[in-house]
């Protein structure tokens, strides 16, 4: 499925940003001079590229269709588990934003929460991506009928086209490049 191939590429972009987050956390831990506002760019990437763009395709199209077509995946918890992990990642990002705001207000101890939530997010997402790439996406490819796969591809292609028209990919892939250069 072309849409799954694209989602796997998006996973690689998300992993790249996760690596950037880890490097920023190391600098926070070692009290190196960094621009803490860069974490807001990371949050923007997560909320609008990972969650708003990528997870929208997974949750609203792939997982929904897979659950309807193969109810055992919805009923035995595989899809539910992925959705719970998406929600947990959103919690880590909200907590990260709160910690950043607290740090900006002068709470130096909030640096611990910046690190804790960032690292929790990156660890969760790396394990989560592996499960999607090696299990759930393979289930979709192997268990869904061709006409359903074509429908999923069409719906995902429309989301990708809309995002391309808005410059979503260009903006957020640019963030990865920009922040990787800053954090060397």
CATH topology of domain 2-182: 1.20.120
pLDDT digits (tens, 9 = 90+) for 99-142: 999 999 999 999 999 999 999 999 999 999 999 999 999 999 99
User: Whole-number mean pLDDT of the chain?
Assistant: 95
Q: Give the residue carrying structure tokens 């929600």.
A: 87
pLDDT digits (tens, 9 = 90+) for 3-15: 999 999 999 999 9
């Amino acid at each position: 499925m072309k849409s799954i191939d694209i989602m796997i590429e998006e996973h690689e972009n998300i992993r790249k940003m996760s690596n950037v987050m880890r490097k920023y956390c190391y600098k926070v831990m070692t009290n190196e001079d960094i621009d803490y506002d860069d974490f807001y760019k990371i949050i923007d990437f997560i909320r609008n590229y990972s969650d708003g763009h990528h997870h929208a395709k997974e949750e609203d199209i792939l997982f929904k269709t897979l659950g309807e077509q193969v109810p055992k995946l919805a009923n035995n918890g595989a899809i539910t588990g992925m959705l719970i992990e998406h929600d947990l990642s959103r919690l880590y990002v909200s907590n990260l934003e709160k910690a950043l705001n607290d740090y900006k207000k002068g709470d130096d101890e909030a640096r611990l929460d910046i690190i804790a939530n960032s690292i929790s997010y990156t660890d969760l997402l790396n394990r989560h991506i592996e499960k999607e790439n090696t299990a759930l996406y393979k289930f979709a490819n192997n268990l869904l009928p061709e006409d359903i796969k074509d429908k999923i591809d069409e719906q995902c292609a429309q989301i990708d086209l809309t995002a391309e028209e808005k410059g979503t990919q260009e903006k957020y892939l640019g963030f990865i490049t920009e922040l990787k250069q800053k954090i060397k």
